[in-house]
Amino acid sequence: MAVATAEHIDAEASEDLIGFTRPELAQIVRGLGEPERTAPMRARQLWHWLYHRGVTDPAMMTSLPQGLRERLAARFRCARPLIVDDQESADGTRKWLLCFGDGREVETVYIPEPDRGAVCISTQVGCSLTCSFCHTGTMPLVRNLHAGEILAQLMVARDALGEWPTPSGARRLSHIVVMGMGEPLLNFEQTARALRIAMDADGLAFARRKITLSTSGVVPKIEACGRELGVGLAISLHAVRDELRDRLVPINRKWNIAALLEACRAYAGRSDRAITFEYVMLDGLNDTDADARELVRLIRGIPAKVNLIPFNPWPGAPYRCSPPERIAAFAAIVSRAGYPAPVRTPRGSDILAACGQLKTASERRRRTGMAA
């Protein structure tokens, strides 16, 4: 379903308020004529309207003086990105194709559960890592998203679920997984800024323990992620031998399995949270009993769980998913060694919203010579 909103404004028209910190908002209102003594208070009020109430029009920010609202409206915007497409899977998973002011697009996915829900957000337009089992990896990297564009994905999901103001109790959107398009640790500063805002108790108020960031192994940034954010860490491992991981996850040629696991041990030593190792099950490649035993050996001593991900096919994919009985045997070996090894249930695969399937519609059209 194609969707257009009147609130979408071209990036050239004004600057987006979403993504600024409180001190930056105070500086903005000072620049709009607010006295020094009241600027911090106005910044707190502005923060409340943006991140707690989800307001997209400065005219609605009624605790601010009318003159300030008018000056904000003339210079800044807090509208959402254009929703180009809104798809819902048979299992309730929802995927939005979002277009930003420069025409670039990303996909964002909401995954509901009976008692909670997670939004899977993107941090880059495209991806530079070229992981061979991942549909997004067949896209070129176009650019990093800035913090406001990362946050906007959460806010679009909140809009769709009607969860404004920020609920104080149970909510349908309770978790964030930074597992969408792109490698978040290659856009660390903007990703970290966005997550710090998302965790602020006076705004979006996502609990730190309900946020998980997934990386393919940008080793130098893993320590910074733990020190500055302290969110859950998921490692896209997918192989237990460097020769195979070099093919599946080419960043392994720069930081190999040994270097990656050393960083994971250090991260776990500073955290009270288990590290999640993500492992896509590829028929005949990485799914033998010997692979499972080697995986257990590699992660020994790390507080961890292993998410086994049945390969989600996409058009032209060069791999097949391991048979269910092979996945079960692999899981049993890992579980017997004391590591939880749940098999992830594919969600949204009928709308190409499952793990490894994200790729913007505009890129699909361009690749097939069908771009408008």
What are the pLDDT digits (tens) for 52-99? 999 999 999 999 999 999 999 999 999 999 999 999 999 999 999 999
Q: What 8-state DSSP symbol labels residue 268? A: H
Here the CATH number for the domain that contains residue 54 is 1.10.150.530
Judge whether 305 and 342 are in contact, CB under 8 Å: yes
Same domain, 318 and 172: yes
What's the structural domain count of the chain?
A: 2
Q: Is residue 69 part of a domain?
A: yes
CA distance 23 to 47: 10
Same domain, 149 and 38: no
Judge whether 176 and 119 are in contact, CB under 8 Å: yes
Dihedral class, residue 162 (left if φ above 0, else alpha if ψ from -120 to 50, else beta): left
Which helix H or strand E contains 169, and what residues bound it?
A: none
pLDDT tens for each residue of 248-296 = 999 999 999 999 999 999 999 888 889 999 999 999 999 999 999 999 9
Judge whether 309 and 281 are in contact, CB under 8 Å: yes
Q: Is residue 6 part of a domain?
A: no
Q: Is residue 205 part of a domain?
A: yes
Same domain, 63 and 174: no
Which helix H or strand E contains 247, and what residues bound it?
A: helix 242-248
Same domain, 87 and 42: no
Same domain, 210 and 351: yes
Same domain, 71 and 98: no
Cα torsion through 293, 295, 297, 298, rounded to 10: 160
Which of 37, 60, 77 is the C-terminal boundary of a domain? 77
Which of 56, 77, 98 is the C-terminal boundary of a domain? 77
Angstrom distances, CA of residue 190 to CA of 26, 178, 187, 235, 262: 20, 13, 6, 20, 25
Angstrom distances, CA of residue 204 to CA of 162, 163, 176: 13, 10, 11
Same domain, 51 and 152: no
Three-state secondary structure call for residue 178:
strand
The one-letter code for the residue type at 170 is A
Same domain, 185 and 55: no
Same domain, 62 and 89: no
CA distance 181 to 108: 8
Q: Average pLDDT in the 196-218 region?
A: 97
The verdict on whether omega for the bond into residue 310 sits within 30 degrees of 0, i.e. cis, is no
318 against 67, higher pLDDT: 67
Which of 77, 102, 118 is the C-terminal boundary of a domain? 77
Same domain, 254 and 297: yes
What pLDDT does 270 receive? 86
Domain range for 238: 82-367
Q: Is residue 208 part of a domain?
A: yes
Q: What residues are labeled active site?
A: 107, 355
Three-state secondary structure call for residue 372:
coil
Q: Work out the angle between the directed axes of helices 188-199 and 147-161 (0-180°, nearest 10).
A: 40
Here the CATH number for the domain that contains residue 324 is 3.20.20.70
